[in-house]
Homo-oligomer: A and B are copies of this chain.
Amino acid sequence: MNYPKEFEDLINCFRRFPGVGYKSAERMAYQFLEMKEEYRDDFVKCIEGISSLKKCKACHNLSSNDLCEICSDFERDKSIICVVQSIKDVFAIEKSNSYKGLYHVLDGVISVKSGKLPEDLNIDSLMDRLEGVKEIIIATNPNLDGETTALFIAKLLEDKNIKVTRLAYGLPMGGNLEYSDDVTITKSFENRKTF
């Protein structure tokens, strides 16, 4: 006998997550089975809840409203924009408490491997919000695609009379900003250098 179809379906749902193999997915499905009905409903509500999340109209960060918490915060320094690959990076930087400017989420990097072109990224919308901006910090990941994208954007900004900086190489090469510790992130903010 195999698992009832409903159960097998749920296992397969969990298997689609990164790093979850069959045995882990099976354990999670069992956990669900043993869960109280109301908690299962809770979970469903949470999943449906994130459908109401939007991308911030200015910086493309995750947001409950049209403008994200950062863009609508009067205390943030609106003359600096930190350009990142993904929303995960926004939260990694926020956690380090080393930066008080705005962000701009590219939603990826220029990549030959995955066929991503500059026009697939949020670069146009970055160019549209340069008024009053004195510095742009490019915080793409320190690997090939990240560097390519950083250079591409720096080139675009060359004649705009804006200081363009790159996070310092306190970040280990080939690494991921998302998994860096707070001290490393802070160091890389302090030592950022001009292109």
Contacts and interface: CB of A to CB of B under 8 A. Distances in A.
A130 B177 CA distance: 63
Contact of A43 (B47, B62, B63): B47
A100 to B, nearest CB: 11
A13 B43 contact: yes
Interface residues of A, number: 47
Interface in A38-69: 39-40, 42-44, 46-53, 62-64, 68-69
A18 interface: yes
Q: Is the interface of A mostly helix, strand, loop or mixed?
A: helix
A190 to B, nearest CB: 21
A52 to B, nearest CB: 6
- Of A6, A48, A69, A91, most B-chain CB atoms within 10 Å: A6
10 contacts: A1-B70, A2-B91, A3-B91, A4-B53, A4-B69, A5-B64, A7-B50, A16-B31, A17-B28, A40-B47
Interface of A: 1-7, 9-10, 13, 16-19, 24, 27-33, 37, 39-40, 42-44, 46-53, 62-64, 68-70, 73, 88, 90-91, 94
